[in-house]
Amino acid sequence: MSTYPKTPLGYARMACDTMIRRYDVNQLPPQQGYNRATFNYHQGVFLTGMNRVYDLCRDERYLDYIRRWVDAVQDENGRIREYTGWLTLTTLDFRQPGNVLCDLYEKTHDAHLLDLLKYLTESLADYPKNEYGGFWHFYTTPDQMWLDGLYMAGPLLVKYASYTGREDLRELAIRQIFLMHEHMRDPKSGLLRHGWDPGKHAAWADPETGLSPEVWGRACGWFVLAIADMLDYIPQDHPRRGEIIAIQQELIAAVLNYQSDEGRWYEVVDKWREPGNWPENSCTCLFVYSIAKGVRQGYIARDAYKAARRAYDRVIETLLPAPEGEFSMGNVCVGTCIEEGTYDYYIHRDTIENDLHGMGAFLLMASEMAKLEEAAN
* Nearest to 346, CA basis, from 291, 289, 278: 278
Which of the residues 103, 148, 270, 355 is marked catalytic?
148
Distances (CA, A) of 73 to 91, 286, 306: 17, 26, 41
- Judge whether 172 and 135 are in contact, CB under 8 Å: no
b/e code 314-323 from CB counts within 10 Å (16+ = b): bbeebbeeee
Distances (CA, A) of 342 to 96, 148, 349: 26, 17, 11
Q: How many other β-carbons are positioned within 10 Å of the β-carbon of residue 49? A: 25
Instruction: For residues 89 and 139, give the distance between their C-alpha atoms in angstroms, rounded to a whole number.
Output: 9
DSSP result, 252-283? HHHHHHT--TTSSPBSBGGGTTSTT--B-HHH
3-state SS, residue 196: strand
* Nearest to 151, CA basis, from 227, 241, 216: 227
Sign of the alpha-carbon torsion through 159, 165, 166, 170: positive
* Nearest to 297, CA basis, from 240, 234, 366, 232: 232
Does 148 qualify as catalytic in the annotation? yes
Instruction: For residues 145 and 205, give the distance between their C-alpha atoms in angstroms, rounded to a whole number.
Output: 11
Instruction: For residues 213 and 196, give the distance between their C-alpha atoms in angstroms, rounded to a whole number.
Output: 10
3-state SS, residue 110: coil
3-state SS, residue 38: coil
- Judge whether 341 and 195 are in contact, CB under 8 Å: yes
Which residues are annotated as catalytic?
A: 148
